[in-house]
Amino acid sequence: MAATFEVRVLTAAQTALEAEVVHLQAPGQEGFLGILAHHAPLITALQPGPLRLDRADGTREVFAVSGGFLEVSGNRAVVLADALERPEEIDLERAEAAKQRAEKRLAARAREIDVPRAEAALHRAVNRIQLARGGQ
């Protein structure tokens, strides 16, 4: 049996998830990170993307994470997430509307828009849409 480790996902509102897993894949700022049991300690920022958890029984859970931080230490991973959603919890209409708003803001390139903020909103919306439609 593969070695497991604890994963906790915390949002501002709650402990969103606690699980024993064999593998965690998280969307880091520089690319995806794969975490196994007894991983070296690290702290990194996360970008919007899919957070994947593989359990010892072979099941996989995928969540939309909207950014935050990941800390790995002492055979435990803690994700401090801005938001975490299961694919079935995502309001696809709302995500599509957010994507369209962000695209309009970026297309206008008006002086008064905050480009990094609009780009972040677009990335969050695209991530949510992909997961809601079954993409992993």
Number of domains in the chain: 2
Q: Give the integer Cα–Cα distance in Å for 27 and 44.
A: 10
Tell me the pLDDT band of 111, cut-offs 50, 70 and 90.
low
Domain that holds residue 43: 5-85
pLDDT greater than 80 at residue 55: yes
- Looking at the structure, tell me whether residues 13 and 69 fall in a common domain: yes
pTM for the model stands at 0.83
* Same domain for 103 and 75: no
Do 66 and 102 belong to one domain?
Answer: no
* 17-35 pLDDT, tens digit each: 999 999 999 999 999 999 9
Tokens matching residue 43: 């702290």
pLDDT, one tens digit per residue, over 31-50 is: 999 999 999 999 999 999 99
**Looking at the structure, do residues 69 and 10 belong to the same domain, yes or no?**
yes
Co-location of 76 and 94 in the same domain: no
Q: Which two tokens stand for residue 11?
A: 């949002």
Identify the burial level of 46 via C-beta atoms within 10 angstroms of its C-beta, where 0-12 means exposed, 13-18 middle and 19 or more buried.
Answer: buried
User: Residue 76: pLDDT band by 50, 70, 90 thresholds?
Assistant: very high
Residues 129 and 92: beta-carbon distance below 8 Å: yes
pLDDT at position 136 over 80:
no
In DSSP notation, 73-126 reads ETTEEEEEES-EE-GGG--HHHHHHHHHHHHHHHHH--TTS-HHHHHHHHHHHH
Say yes or no: 26 and 77 in one domain. yes
99 token code pair? 């994507």
Q: Which of 1-5, 16-20, 108-112 shows the lowest per-residue confidence on average (mean pLDDT)?
A: 108-112
Sign for the pseudo-dihedral over CA of 27, 31, 35, 38: negative
State the amino acid at position 62 in one-letter form.
V
When the pLDDT of each residue in the chain is averaged and rounded to a whole number, the result is: 90
Q: Is 1 a residue whose pLDDT tops 80?
A: no
Assess whether 117 and 67 both reside in one domain. Answer: no
Do 98 and 78 share a structural domain? no
